[in-house]
Structure 1
Amino acid sequence: MKKSALLLTAALATLAAPAFADDNVLRLRMNGDINSVDPISTTNYTIRNASYLIYDVLFALDENFEVQPQMAESVDVSDDDLVYTITLRDGLTFHDGSPVTAEDAVASLQRWGKVDGLGKIMFSKMDSIEAADDKTLVITMAEPWAQVLPAIGKISSNIPVIMPKRLAEQDPGDPVTEPIGSGPYRLLVDEWVPGSIAPYEKFEGYVPREEPASMAAGGKVAGFDRVEIVNIPDTATAIDALLAGEIDWMEEVPADMLPLFEGQDGAVAEPALQSGNSLQLVVNHLNPPFDNPKIRHALQLALEQEPFMQAMNGDNADLYEICAAVFFCNTPFESDVNTDRVLTRDVAAAKALLEEAGYDGTPVHIMHVTDIAGQDAAYSVLKPMLEEAGFVVDEQIADWATVSTRRASKEPVADGGWNLFFTGWGYVDQINPMTNVYVAGACEDGWFGWACSEELQALREQFAATSDPEEQKKLATRMQEVTHDLVPYVPLGQVYPSQGLSTDLDGYIRSPVPFFWNVSRAEN
């Protein structure tokens, strides 16, 4: 038996035989394990994607990227744009049988507002948020702010999910472990085996909206009785499973494996909007050596994008783009300002900066992720580039679940901290200065890496206060200039990988975030 078959057998060993043959089961393979049920305590896309099965939200974006009510029945905005009165729709029930109330929504938004960048800004401009009665919550702003509904209607990390008040009152730094939401599926905790399988069943108490599904909005109709997220670390094994009809969807198909789908009837590989992102090397500003700005600039000079993109995509040049724009290329806020160090590798200049900065050979700790093929390839390029420029590298093999947990540590490397890791925020997050984590400059209250800039904080406040497109463009350009000097991350190219999808599925929603309602098994 070949190695991939052995791995597949191990990955699927926990599946009961009757369920495996059931057409009413949707099986998914995501980039990483489901090791958390709390999308507020992490921005990990894998946890975000799975959380949409469990939780619902007050508002959501439709396919035109317009905010629509979801758990909300209606919203009334006062003439002075200060008071938002939100009425919940009838029939909202949590998975434990308790009704969803306005108090649950208030507590959930407050928890989200403690960690999400846009949420923090919203709460800083808020006078109060309270439950007027069981079905009505009232948000009163201290000043008009047009981003209120877009903020609580955002569809990507951190998503402002609604959970019971008793859970939402838990500090967001302490992840919730009881998966109680009011979404179309509920997690079967007794069958959940982290590292192997996360099974969900249709929640009979969920009442979908009457409107047709439209991206994250509209009716969330559960088309399967059961959904299983299967952890298959080896990508080739996952593709074997998809082509054999043993799973229905996989999040990312590496470019060098696209030929495996040629001539296949059971599955296709297609461009994945949710994976269109920038390969980003995140930099920890708290730990040496990158607590020194000159050494961060040396890091920029040590790298170049093309080798990373070629390692990840091979000769498929149409799957990537060389791009150093903080707000992505081909978008309203695209800019080439202050990109010289990012786009031009200069090993001699990097070595000179290291010497000028007094670099003492402190090892650069990198966590080499092997269970996401694209990242595996990128890390293989990273280490020799860093060493050629004069950095000492300490590389450790890891999986994405481990990295997504360890990156939250602010401790020294020796005590569980880190220096660098790869990630990939999608364009739905990055094109907007209000949701792009790298321009927050929020110091130790910010996203991983904890880059600190009072000017970025001020620029973001100014951006939120204006609706003038020319002024917004000017502010965004300045944000990019400051960001590339601060170096919260190094952009290493814009990537357009593919997802794998079974051909016998109907209704799959093409979206920047993968959703698994509205999808069903096609009739033969």
Structure 2
Amino acid sequence: MRHLIRRVALAAALLAPAMPALAQETLRLRMNGDVNTLDPISTTNFTVRNAAYLMFDTLYAMDETYQPQPQMAEGTEISEDGLTYTITLRDGLMFHDGSPVTAADAVASLERWGSVDGLGQTLFSKMESIEATDDRTLVIQLAEPWGLVLDALGKISSNVPVIMPAEQAATPASEAVQEPIGSGPYRLVPEEWVPGSVVVFEKFEDYVPRDEPPSMAAGGKIAHFDRVEAIYIPDTATAINALIAGEIDWIEEVPADMLRYFDGVDTAEAVAARQSGNSMQLVVNHLNPPFDDPLVRQALQLAVSQDDFLLAAYGDGEDRYLKCAAVFFCNGPYATDVNTDRVLERDPEAAQALLDEAGYDGTPVMLMHVSDIPTHDAYYAVLKPMLEEAGFTVEVQPSDWATVATRRASKEPVADGGWNVFFTGWGFVDQSNPMTNVYVSGACDDAWFGWACSDELQQLREDFAVAETEEERMALAEEMQRLTHDLVSYVPLGQAFPSVGIATDLEGYIESPVPFFWNLQRVE
């Protein structure tokens, strides 16, 4: 059996031209889904974000207290009037192709990021200009004071404002850079990258880490492994067996019903990742029938039950999930129960009445049933009968997460490669702040997938960005939640606190809502 597991779990890695002689010099990871791109600006896919952090760096980074700290930046001078930010790059920054990192590269990278990211778009709306004044200096000139400039530059989650060469940053954000070049502690080995199989990184010998100790995304990033492999293993049970057998080192998510696999095991353990808790969502496409009708979207809210999804995915592991309909994360600073009745109380008859009122004609709801992430697999299995009971016609297309993560960008009709709904999860650092929560932008064609459109939400977000008191911000957040649940940019499905699986001979794993693999090393 052990040999069978080894053959299955490492089949992807064996497609690579060569393996290092010493296995202990290689860190092997199994992420949620395939790494089919390594451009974290072209997608908000967390699998891509997690892998990309190995090879990219940022000007600023969030420490464990969620404060922005200089990373590629040596520091920043802020003018007395709060309008001018002069950022100096630290010495020794080099891209993986051997070229030096310049301020012009940083400017081009930020401009690309700012064209698609919600917080980036807000930052650029406050700017009069951003320019490189010499190779190590860039200057941001604001039109009005805005206190979140460094927070934006240090954004920890999707889209992450990574720095790449200016030539690559000239690629439209809607197009993925095919062989991206970073400046982080590990470099991509493009000739060994096989989408659907394995992506390989190797230690970048010319990387100069900061002197400070690591603190979440900030501080010194020490590459202890010569090589890192992200191996695509679609079957989770196979991946867990490979972890226990010592054939891989880390699994992004261990389903609740598989935690028992670790009983009596001393080679690996499952650890509840409380900091990386996700608020699970059913995302709704406002462009395609039947959900182009707001009454049908509200019928969807009434058709589903958080309890059924949470039980299907987590069973009786109540310490691993929380029923919640707060747009800005339960237990967060802007948590509220405003306008949550339709979300928290399932009522199939009321859903059917709304469908009748809308004149629903039986247009099928197409479900892209993701099977290679266990939680998603369970959620889709529960969703179909709930929708049918409420009066929806449902069609199912089996899929994997990488395909859905690509297809969700399409604004085409379903028959031409578009979509109706899909499941995803955003974490605390993404959702708890109205400036980074993608569901409250109301930005229409420029909004996140689903393209929910609301001038009122856009104005509320602008007001939040300049609000001076916490009382003002709380009132604005409550109004944003009320409008968001009426607009139905998504249906909240509770919060989950998944477990990661990790080999017990590793130390230095960083507590963070985003998995980082620098500073991680093997011990005897």
- TM-score, scaled relative to structure 2: 0.98
Q: Which amino acid aligns with 1:91?
A: G
Superimposed CA distance per residue, residues 145-200 of structure 1 (whole angstroms, 9 cap, x where no aligned partner): 11111011111000000000000011111111122010011110011111111010
Any residues of structure 2 matched to 1:388-407 within 5 Å, and which? 388-407=389-408
Q: 1:54 touches 1:179 (CA, 8 Å); kept in 2?
A: no
**Match of 1:53, SS?**
coil
Which residue in the other structure is 1:257 paired with?
Answer: 258
How far 1:21 sits from its partner (Å)? 5.0
- CA separation of 1:9 and 1:57: change in aligned 2, threshold 3 A: closer
Q: 2:5 touches 2:242 (CA, 8 Å); kept in 1?
A: no
Aligned mates of 2:424, 2:6 — CA distance in 1: 29
Aligned mates of 1:328, 1:20 — CA distance in 2: 46
Superimposed CA distance per residue, residues 326-353 of structure 1 (whole angstroms, 9 cap, x where no aligned partner): 0111111110010000001111110010
Identity of aligned residues (%): 67
How far 1:4 sits from its partner (Å)? 5.9
Q: Which amino acid aligns with 2:431?
A: Q
Q: Which amino acid aligns with 1:135?
A: R
Q: Which amino acid aligns with 1:396?
A: Q
Q: Which amino acid aligns with 1:289?
A: P
Aligned mates of 2:434, 2:311 — CA distance in 1: 29
Aligned mates of 1:315, 1:61 — CA distance in 2: 34
Which residue in the other structure is 2:38 paired with?
Answer: 37
Q: Which amino acid aligns with 1:420?
A: V
Any residues of structure 2 matched to 1:218-233 within 5 Å, and which? 218-233=219-234
**Match of 2:223, SS?**
coil
Cα RMSD (Å):
1.3
Which residue in the other structure is 2:282 paired with?
Answer: 281
How far 1:467 sits from its partner (Å)? 3.0
Aligned mates of 2:217, 2:462 — CA distance in 1: 28
**Match of 1:423, SS?**
strand
**Match of 2:426, SS?**
coil
Any residues of structure 2 matched to 1:461-472 within 5 Å, and which? 461-472=462-473
Superimposed CA distance per residue, residues 461-489 of structure 1 (whole angstroms, 9 cap, x where no aligned partner): 01000131111111001100000000000
Instruction: Please state if 1:304 is matched with 2:296.
Output: no
**Match of 1:424, SS?**
strand
Aligned mates of 1:228, 1:164 — CA distance in 2: 24
Q: 1:38 touches 1:47 (CA, 8 Å); kept in 2?
A: yes
Q: Which amino acid aligns with 2:260?
A: P
Which residue in the other structure is 2:149 paired with?
Answer: 148
Any residues of structure 2 matched to 1:69-88 within 5 Å, and which? 69-88=70-89
Aligned mates of 2:5, 2:125 — CA distance in 1: 52
How far 1:125 sits from its partner (Å)? 1.1
Which residue in the other structure is 1:113 paired with?
Answer: 114
Which residue in the other structure is 1:53 paired with?
Answer: 54
Any residues of structure 2 matched to 1:490-501 within 5 Å, and which? 490-501=491-502
Instruction: Please state if 1:270 is matched with 2:237.
Output: no
**Match of 2:113, SS?**
helix
Q: 1:4 touches 1:236 (CA, 8 Å); kept in 2?
A: no
How far 1:274 sits from its partner (Å)? 5.5
Which residue in the other structure is 1:182 paired with?
Answer: 183
Superimposed CA distance per residue, residues 185-227 of structure 1 (whole angstroms, 9 cap, x where no aligned partner): 1110011111111010000110000111111000111010100
- CA separation of 1:190 and 1:274: change in aligned 2, threshold 3 A: farther
Any residues of structure 2 matched to 1:66-215 within 5 Å, and which? 66-215=67-216
Aligned mates of 1:335, 1:480 — CA distance in 2: 8
Q: Which amino acid aligns with 1:284?
A: N
Q: 2:287 touches 2:450 (CA, 8 Å); kept in 1?
A: yes
**Match of 2:53, SS?**
helix
Aligned mates of 2:16, 2:270 — CA distance in 1: 25
Q: Which amino acid aligns with 1:276?
A: G
Note the residue ranges of structure 1 that are not aligned, 5 or more in a row: none
Which residue in the other structure is 2:326 paired with?
Answer: 325
Q: 1:275 touches 1:498 (CA, 8 Å); kept in 2?
A: no
Aligned mates of 2:471, 2:51 — CA distance in 1: 38
- CA separation of 1:272 and 1:73: change in aligned 2, threshold 3 A: same
Superimposed CA distance per residue, residues 246-267 of structure 1 (whole angstroms, 9 cap, x where no aligned partner): 1110000000000111111011
Aligned mates of 2:471, 2:21 — CA distance in 1: 56
Q: Which amino acid aligns with 1:111?
A: R
Aligned mates of 1:29, 1:5 — CA distance in 2: 14
Superimposed CA distance per residue, residues 67-86 of structure 1 (whole angstroms, 9 cap, x where no aligned partner): 10000001000000000000
- CA separation of 1:376 and 1:194: change in aligned 2, threshold 3 A: same
- CA separation of 1:284 and 1:18: change in aligned 2, threshold 3 A: closer
How far 1:18 sits from its partner (Å)? 5.2
How far 1:108 sits from its partner (Å)? 0.3
Aligned mates of 2:112, 2:12 — CA distance in 1: 35
How far 1:317 sits from its partner (Å)? 1.2
Superimposed CA distance per residue, residues 94-142 of structure 1 (whole angstroms, 9 cap, x where no aligned partner): 0011000000000000000000000001111100000010000000000
Superimposed CA distance per residue, residues 18-56 of structure 1 (whole angstroms, 9 cap, x where no aligned partner): 537520111100001110011000000000001111110
Superimposed CA distance per residue, residues 340-398 of structure 1 (whole angstroms, 9 cap, x where no aligned partner): 00001111110010010000000001100000001100100000000110000111000
Q: Which amino acid aligns with 1:116?
A: D
Aligned mates of 2:135, 2:30 — CA distance in 1: 39
Aligned mates of 1:437, 1:504 — CA distance in 2: 38
Please identify, of 266-275 and 293-302, the stretch whose mean Cα deviation from structure 2 is larger. Answer: 266-275
Which residue in the other structure is 2:339 paired with?
Answer: 338
Aligned mates of 1:306, 1:163 — CA distance in 2: 44
Aligned mates of 2:173, 2:93 — CA distance in 1: 24
Aligned mates of 1:112, 1:345 — CA distance in 2: 39
| Large movers: runs of 4+ above 4 Å | 1-6, 15-18
Superimposed CA distance per residue, residues 435-462 of structure 1 (whole angstroms, 9 cap, x where no aligned partner): 0000110001010000001111000001
Which residue in the other structure is 1:8 paired with?
Answer: 9
**Match of 2:248, SS?**
coil
Please identify, of 172-181 and 385-394, the stretch whose mean Cα deviation from structure 2 is larger. Answer: 172-181
Aligned mates of 1:207, 1:243 — CA distance in 2: 34
Aligned mates of 2:490, 2:277 — CA distance in 1: 18
- TM-score, scaled relative to structure 1: 0.98
Which residue in the other structure is 1:483 paired with?
Answer: 484
Q: 1:274 touches 1:514 (CA, 8 Å); kept in 2?
A: no
Which residue in the other structure is 2:426 paired with?
Answer: 425
Q: Which amino acid aligns with 1:123?
A: F
Superimposed CA distance per residue, residues 270-292 of structure 1 (whole angstroms, 9 cap, x where no aligned partner): 11246411110000000000000
**Match of 2:151, SS?**
helix
Aligned mates of 2:186, 2:427 — CA distance in 1: 25
Q: Which amino acid aligns with 1:218?
A: G
